[in-house]
A and B are shown apart, each in its own frame.
Chain A
Amino acid sequence: MLWQQVVNGLTLGSTYALIALGYTLIFGVLNIVNMAHGEIFMFGAFVALMLVTTFKVNLLVAMAGAALAGAVLGYLLEVTALRPLRKRAVSHMAPLISTIGVSIFLESLALNLFGAQSQSFPPMFSGKLLDFGLFQISVIQVVILAISVGLMLVLKFWLDRTKMGKSIRATSENIDTAAILGVNTQRVITITVMLASGLGAVAGVLVGLAFNAVEPTMGIPMGFKGLAVLILGGLGNITGAMVGGLLLGIAEVFSVAYGASSYREAVAFGLIMVLLFLRPQGLFGSPGNGGR
């Protein structure tokens, strides 16, 4: 029972982590919270659903398509809602409002394109369960875990080792310093927003699979959870987002398993509040620099 809950929690948490990474990457380079991230996540789920049901492609191709669509949406978001505000010295609240505008637009667009009713992926892998004795795991869960953990490891490696990754880290730490070292920070920001949105779109597909439901409003609660994990892990901290996501998933699953199912989100967010009382800078943030 315990191990079963841990496995379920990790599966759910890995999708939260993937969503939170999108917030974290964008917060890192731009110091803003992208309120449209949840809706890009939702669009990703719909794009994959269309690809699977209408074009009959396999799931991996559909995910790649969702990632691509997410990146394109991210590019449009950067060009229309973020970049114009950066050129002028506007209030730091302005991008918050403009991304809320984009999120409302995307949600309405989804309602018009796909309808309000919840849709689901066609049954895949015939709901088969793999039995490991201590716990059972469905093939869908294995796919979710493999994709999200795999993407996180690739991302971590890419940020640590490649020149592009290092330029993103340098820009997150201090945009002026990165600029005087010769980094085209404008380009780094665009690439980061596209990357974050692509990851968010894939997370949308995974959550759509996990709950077997894809609907235009699915981005809202997920957006809040991603935000919570951003703060829990430490603002702009990549490792923090990954670990924080997994913790939130486990906390939620355990509160369902041990009798508080209608309070699952209250319990999870309550835990985050307690944690932040103890560590205001978040799990991996260092004190004194706003949790980064």
Chain B
Amino acid sequence: MNPKQKQRLVLVSLLVIGLGTGVSLVLMALNENINLFFTPSQVVAGEVPTNQRFRIGGMVTLNSVEKLDNELTVRFKLNDSAKEVQLEYAGILPDLFREGQGIVAEGKLNEEGIFIADQVLAKHDENYMPPEVAQALEASGSAYYNNEENR
């Protein structure tokens, strides 16, 4: 082999080894860290596998936020205008969390069907609706979504 071919061989084998490690790391990590997204309707219909982390998105139901005394826990309901799910979150809610606002929460369902969130995401721009939430609302034929003003 002349030096040029050798160099090319080294380059290619490096790429192959690197890509191989990269791909296997990626596949392993992806398998463990993907969160599926569900709407409240899907959760109520029991489409969600038990004991698995997932994301839920919808509007915070008006007058549903309940703050427990002497502890951090907050309870609220999330709806897609068709169905409603009870959530519980022991942490500090983001600034843009408000009743009537679209949010996404990440966590697990417990045995009583309450979603225990360990993360609540609200967006920085108050006009902005997470695309998943917008679609969930659209799917359930929400009056909110069909109102042009709110789009």
Q: Do A and B associate with each other?
A: no
Which B residues have a C-beta under 8 Å from some C-beta of A?
Answer: none
